[in-house]
Chain A
């Protein structure tokens, strides 16, 4: 599996969409994002892990909605009018990511992207392989592989 953030392939500048989940700033490579939609009620799925809220109709396709905050173990996202769904492509699957709000599009020169310092949890390192320092703080670059794993793993 090639890492989309492979430094060899990276252009001098990349574009990211930043968003908030569990009051923390995250971002995704803009190339992975299909569209951003307003929150609509989902259909609950039986036997779903807590981070999978259910499924939604995206123009005839059934897509799972994944609560990113819950996925990071930061608790479920509180229902809010401002909540949005980021529709992203992960491998062959299309998933909706529930986040609190979407902030902006950033153009980031590659030197400002640094790999995540060693932390205790490998899972964290895998799902957030890099961070970007900004004037107003830091945003975490999300690798959606971990979402794919949760969404497509064979149900127990």
Chain B
């Protein structure tokens, strides 16, 4: 059934939101910043998951959520103190719940011993608390035995019951029902006639209204009940079915149900008296239901008025719209085209010499601004807070700490920072690895920490911020810092560096990012996943970002990821290199330099240095690195772009010419081609030509690849 399938999808989508709220709430409970509403929200999240899971028969999820929610309910009702131990179990339960939801999505049950052990822990907590309040899961519409009001002495209708209740073994052919609603029955929106109609559907019915208690009209009280009914029902149904009819009004009426046995003679004298139409009873006698239908709904309550008058302060969530991501991406692409189109028009107009016209160029400027504005607005659709991503990391910290027998906590700063959705998705793996690394390698053992006078619990700080058009993500630990001696030793042993080479501290730190480097000497519980920091670096680079490391002995290590704000546009410098138009990302650039010939120095046979205010900066020949044929060889006519590379080193990129600085739309080369070393992407310029966007970090660190373009393919044609 497709509609049910789509609701199932909705359920899992909703689960993601609920799990996010759950994780956040649990984190707040753990760090003591929780209030009553936090606990309520956490309870609601688990409760909603349970409710939805029940509808899809996800039994493991239902039963786990049930135990989880029962514990939360006790905390909510202040019958259970959320001790650190309890909170630990709750967090673990939250983690397990995430996994069970994941498994359920694939129609599977989570097959992990952790489910059982966590359920046991939850059970233990419940065992310590007062047992009485622990609700058991019950079958749908299971009816408890009903307490029937048998105080018939005061009941004027008791006389109608001709059969003693205690007659054994007679066959039941029907029931005598006496039914006297209290005011509460009406107040709860019940209509006695509907109950009698429901009874009538069970068999043959005879009904008598007793309106003896009905006062004169002028004495009618507003909130009172005066009517009662005696009903004789001939039916094959069991007494339970009758109780079902009255289930909702139990306690809101005097009710007696007595079986009529087959042998008993029918009291025909009474039956003859029953004439009243059942449906008319409540309307003629009990005025509440019918009369009020004419009453206009009362004005809104104060709370609702507040809502209406000040929607921004509404306590409810802001209205949102869920949109297929493809549609957003199509919009983003089209806006990208619009920007290119705008650039083309500008270029064409200036080519025609029309840009002298003040009005035209004003209009064109407006067009440009509007296009930019649309673009920004559209990009904002894809932006999401990093919060869910960061929240997932607290689990990684917990698990890593457990696995390495360390104590660690995660502190999160700037979780509201918004980043492109794709960036967030693709950051999950590298971030997970960095967090694991930070706990596993960054933090010292508990004993070492204590002996060094540090707090037993290590802190991993995860920070997100926007800084000058970039997104900065930092993973910092307060551990012992990098052991540079060891790092260098490993690098030497693995022949990642030449033995005679002198390395600066930052160069040693950056060895961590080299392929094949791993500081783990014995495989710990966390390693062995085959991921090294080189993989982290590659994934960050693939997002157009950079990762760098900064370590202080005794104080800790900090990894910094710098990412572009969006994946769709960037500010770049349009330059010419060996006859090709290229774009250098502005984020990497420090300044442009037009040197005098005596600012350039040769170093050996193939290296050049550029003197910048007394500092010697290595020159990088882009054309050479990219295997492009140089058309001019005069270095002094070259302009140098001073760029900062990932390890905070500088280098000077030589270009032939600088055209201008502009925002360019990033076009992936991977979609129809493949990634090219030294090139991060492509863009389309105003004249429709494609320009490559330079990956400055890669170019700076690349080996020279001379003559790559001259390589000939093997002949394959032999016909």
Say whether B682 contacts A46, CB under 8 Å: no
- Expressed in whole angstroms, the Cα–Cα distance for A107 and B12 within the complex equals 51
A74–chain B nearest beta-carbon distance, Å: 5
Across-interface contacts of B709 in A (CB, < 8 A): 44, 46-48, 50
Q: Which residues of A contact B682 (CB under 8 A)?
A: 43, 55, 62
The residues in B between 483 and 538 inclusive whose CB is less than 8 angstroms from any CB of A are: none
Closest to B341 in A: A60
State whether the Cβ of B397 lies closer than 8 Å to any Cβ in chain A.
no
A20 at the binding interface (Cβ < 8 Å): no
Nearest-neighbour CB distance to chain A for B688, whole angstroms, equals 5
| Given A46-B679, A60-B684, A127-B716 contact (CB < 8 Å) | yes
Kindly supply a per-residue 1/0 record for chain A positions 38-57, scoring 1 wherever the CB is within 8 Å of any chain B CB and 0 otherwise.
00011111111111100111
Task: Specify which of B627, B714, B719 is in contact with A46 (CB 8 Å cutoff).
Answer: B627
Q: Cα distance A45–B679 when bound, in Å? A: 9
* A94 interface contact, C-beta 8 A: yes
A129 at interface, CB cutoff 8 A: no
Whether B647 sits at the interface, judged by CB under 8 Å, is: no
B715 and A93 contacting across the interface, CB-CB below 8 Å: no
Given A43-B692, A44-B580, A45-B692, A60 and B677 contact (CB-CB distance below 8 Å): no
Tell which of A49, A95, A120 touches B711, judged by Cβ atoms closer than 8 Å.
A49
Whether a CB of chain A sits under 8 angstroms from the CB of B671 is yes
CA distance in complex: A43, B690 (Å): 6
* Cα separation A146 to B403 with both chains bound (whole Å): 48
Q: In the complex the two chains form, is A73's CB within 8 Å of B715's CB?
A: yes
Please tell me if the beta carbons of A64 and B672 are within 8 angstroms of each other in the complex: yes
B90 to chain A, nearest CB (A): 45
Q: Is the CB of A155 within 8 A of B674?
A: yes
Using Cβ atoms and an 8 Å threshold, which residues of chain B touch A128? 719
- In-complex Cβ contact of A124 among B333, B691, B719 (8 A): B719
The smallest C-beta distance from A116 to any residue of chain B, in angstroms, reads 9
Contact mask for chain B residues 670-682; partner A; CB cutoff 8 A; 1 contact, 0 none: 0111111111001
**Is the pair B717, A73 in contact by a Cβ cutoff of 8 Å?**
yes
Task: Find out whether the CB atom of A124 lies under 8 angstroms from the CB atom of B716.
Answer: yes
B712 sits at the interface (CB 8 A): yes
A152 CB → nearest B CB, Å:
5
Return the chain B residue nearest A63 by Cβ.
B672
**Contact present for B715 and A55 (CB under 8 Å):** no
Alpha-carbon gap, A42 to B580, bound state (A): 10
Q: Give every chain A residue within 8 A of B642 (Cβ-Cβ).
A: none
Contact partner, A62, options B669, B712, B715, B718, Cβ 8 Å: B669
Closest chain A residue, CB of each to CB of B715: A73
Residues of B within 8 A of A140 (CB): 719
- How many chain B residues have a CB neighbour from A under 8 Å? 42
Taking a contact as CB atoms under 8 Å apart, the answer to whether B672 and A93 are in contact is yes
CB of B622 to closest CB in A, whole Å: 9
Q: Is B619 on the interface with A (CB-CB < 8 A)?
A: no
> Which residues of B have CB within 8 Å of A154?
674-675
A42 to B690, CA, bound (A): 8
User: Chain A CB within 10 Å — which of B688, B690, B708, B710 has the most?
Assistant: B690
Q: Report A81-106 CB contacts with B as 1/0, cut-off 8 Å.
A: 00000000000111100000000000
B678: chain A residues within 8 A (beta carbon): 46-47
Q: Is B336 an interface residue (CB 8 A)?
A: yes
A71 and B692 alpha carbons, distance in the complex (Å): 24
> Does the CB pair A119–B673 fall under 8 Å?
no
Q: Are A60 and B673 closer than 8 Å at their CB atoms?
A: no
From B581, B672, B705, B712, A61 is in contact (CB under 8 Å) with: B672
Q: Is A153 an interface residue (CB 8 A)?
A: yes
Nearest-neighbor residue (CB-CB) of A49 within chain B: B713
With most chain A CB atoms within 10 A of its CB, the pick from B626, B669, B673, B682 is B673
* Cα separation A128 to B718 with both chains bound (whole Å): 11
Which A residue's beta carbon lies closest to that of B627? A46
Nearest CB in chain B: distance from A48 CB, A: 7
Answer yes or no: B419 CB below 8 A from chain A CBs: no
CB neighbours (8 Å) of B674 from chain A are 151-155
Contacts A60-B333, A73-B715, A155-B677; A94 near B626 (Cβ below 8 A) = no
Q: Counting CB contacts under 8 A, is A121 at the interface?
A: yes
Cβ–Cβ contact A62 & B667, under 8 A? yes
Contact with B along A134-156 (1 / 0, CB 8 A): 00000010000000000111110
B59 contacts A by Cβ under 8 Å: no
Whether A155 and B676, one on each chain, are in contact in the complex, defined by CB atoms closer than 8 angstroms, is yes
B628 located at the interface, meaning its Cβ lies under 8 Å from any Cβ of chain A in the complex? yes
Is the C-beta of B689 less than 8 angstroms from some C-beta in chain A? yes
- Measured in the bound complex, the distance between the Cα atoms of B336 and A40 in whole Å is 22
Interface centre among A45, A64, A94, A128 (most CB of B within 10 A): A45
The 6 closest A-B pairs by CB, nearest first: A73-B715, A46-B626, A72-B717, A43-B690, A123-B716, A64-B673
B: which residues have CB within 8 A of A? 333, 336-337, 340, 580-581, 625-628, 667-669, 671-679, 682, 684, 688-692, 705, 708-719
Q: List 28 A-B contacts (CB under 8 A).
A: A42-B690, A43-B690, A43-B691, A45-B673, A45-B679, A46-B708, A47-B626, A47-B677, A48-B676, A48-B709, A50-B709, A50-B710, A50-B712, A52-B673, A55-B673, A57-B688, A62-B682, A62-B690, A63-B672, A64-B672, A70-B713, A95-B672, A119-B718, A119-B719, A121-B717, A123-B716, A124-B716, A155-B675
